[in-house]
Amino acid sequence: MSQQITPELRQWIIDQARAGHRPEAVVAAMRASGWDEAVALDALETTLQGFMDSLQKPAVQPAPPALSAVPEPDLRQQPSIVAVGGHEVKVLMAMHSPRVVVFGGLLSEDECDQLVELARPRLARSETVDTTTGGSEVNAARTSSGMFFSRCETALHQRIEERIGALVNWPVDHGEGLQILRYGPGAEYRPHHDYFDPAQPGTPAILQRGGQRVGTLVMYLNTPEQGGATIFPDVGLEVAPIKGNAVFFSYARPHPDTRTLHGGAPVITGEKWVATKWLRQRVFV
């Protein structure tokens, strides 16, 4: 019969070591009670090694960043259509991890066209917030051009921002102004997270303007002929860019475990225009 190293035997070995008995004495005691010497030695070695390893591991792992409240559409009754401010928005797809909801008809054709025409004369090569300094910089990973509107810049912006606020239950003043991006053929936005990396030295300065980003809504202002999906590589999801539709996602902490890594796949033919709304933890100033 093979001799099993049971949890009780392991505990007995640890107790002997704690009591100051030398390994030879422990093996001798095991042999005296019928254990094969090789098995006794092996049990001693593996048990004590595991015990030493457990002493070296910190008992408490460093805590991940705390969870924040997040914007969230009210889909508890599984509506196919949500009415917000007299406007009907379709719920096309929802998933829980990552939290992603795809909406249909969030913007009218006319609202899309107006945003494009207001943005067009103000476009510049896209800058992203530089988390090392808190300033902004031209980023090779983002080959689109873009601009920011200020919050509620015109009545059109205000109407759209109020619709978004009602849709995802988040105060309008917790949002950044709409960002418009234009991608030509070949342009892309490589996978990234929208939250600010807590490890970067410039992040505390950025957070003073309204805390972390906790949600994103990317609205499609046209339908590119080919390419330009919004991709979520962690889960293999691709959202087709269809004019007036939008993809919403939220992240309760600035951590990759939210699985909200995403990007804009290269446009193949045509161009792609989007409006992005970022939602902050607090009033964005």
Return the residues of window 79-108 that contact ligand AKG according to CB under 6 A.
none
Residue 146 partner contact from Fe ion, ligand AKG, none using kind-dependent CB cut-offs of 5 to 8 Å: none
Contact between 188 and Fe ion (CB under 5 A)? no
Q: How far apart are CA 28 and CA 41, in angstroms?
A: 10
Of the candidates 218, 228, 230, 232, the residue with the CA atom closest to the CA atom of residue 260: 232
Which of these segments, 22-30, 104-112, 159-167, 188-196, binds Fe ion (CB under 5 A)? 188-196
Contact between 276 and ligand AKG (CB under 6 A)? yes
Using the minimum distance from each CB to ligand AKG, give the nearer residue, 13 or 181.
181
Return the residues of window 127-186 that contact ligand AKG according to CB under 6 A.
181
Return the residues of window 245-264 that contact ligand AKG according to CB under 6 A.
262, 264
Residue 188 partner contact from Fe ion, ligand AKG, none using kind-dependent CB cut-offs of 5 to 8 Å: none
12, with CB counted inside 10 A (0-12, 13-18, 19+), is middle
Which of these segments, 32-40, 69-77, 159-167, 192-200, binds Fe ion (CB under 5 A)? 192-200
Residue 94 to residues 75, 172, 234, Cα–Cα distance (Å): 9, 23, 16
Q: How far apart are CA 267 and CA 28, in angstroms?
A: 74
Using the minimum distance from each CB to ligand AKG, give the nearer residue, 111 or 188.
188
Contact between 194 and Fe ion (CB under 5 A)? yes
Contact between 227 and ligand AKG (CB under 6 A)? no
Contact between 274 and ligand AKG (CB under 6 A)? yes
Of the candidates 231, 212, 201, 188, the residue with the CA atom closest to the CA atom of residue 284: 212
CB 94 within 8 A of CB 275: no
Single-letter residue type at 111: E
Q: How many residues bind Fe ion (CB under 5 A)?
A: 1
CB 249 within 8 A of CB 262: yes
What is the CB neighbour count within 10 angstroms for residue 51? 14
Q: How far is the CB of 79 from ligand AKG (least distance, A)?
A: 25
* Segments in the chain forming alpha helices (H): 7-18, 23-32, 37-56, 109-119, 155-168, 203-207
Contact string (CB under 6 A) for ligand AKG, positions 187-226, x = contact: --x----x-----------------------x--------
**What stretch of H or E contains 237?**
strand 237-239
By CB under 6 A, name the binding residues for ligand AKG. 181, 189, 194, 218, 230, 262, 264, 274, 276
By CB under 5 A, name the binding residues for Fe ion. 194
